Amino acid sequence: MARDRSPAALVGAATDDAFEITFDGRPVTALPGQSVAAALWAAGILAWRRTRVGGRPRGAFCGIGQCYDCLATVNGRPNRRACLLPARPGDTVTTQEGHGHAELGV
């Protein structure tokens, strides 16, 4: 059935080899050209940030970098917009808590 195939398979697209990134220490498969958010979504991960007030989960919302809900800590750098950031082999993504600058004590 068509809904059991990926969009790439439906259009017959040939992709380069998949690679691995990690999210909170667990491996996630990514494809060349995918954003960090797309790779996380494809792995069933819908939230990778918690709000400053209340610790509510956040992930991709607008998908075009306008809402900032998709902020993540990538390779130790906080506040990276996961929906705009291309996934690269070996990237390390961690759940961002609050504003991402806890070490500053602000």
Distance of CA 7 to the CA centre of its chain: 19
Max distance between CA atoms of the chain, in angstroms, equals: 53
Query: Which amino acid is residue 85, in one-letter code?
Result: L
Residue 71 inside a domain? The answer is yes
Distance of CA 51 to the CA centre of its chain: 16
Residue 8 inside a domain? The answer is no
Please say whether the beta carbons of 37 and 59 come within 8 A. Answer: yes
Q: Identify which of 72, 97, 70 has the alpha carbon closest to the alpha carbon of residue 22.
A: 72
CATH number at residue 51: 3.10.20.440
**Phi and psi of 70, rounded to 5°?**
-90, 15
Residue 106 inside a domain? The answer is no
Residue 55 inside a domain? The answer is yes
What per-residue confidence (pLDDT) applies to 55?
84
Q: Which pLDDT tens digit goes with each residue over 12-49?
A: 666 778 999 999 999 999 999 999 999 999 999 999 88
Structural domain including 68 reads 17-98
Q: Which pLDDT tens digit goes with each residue over 68-88?
A: 888 999 999 999 999 999 999
What per-residue confidence (pLDDT) applies to 65?
79
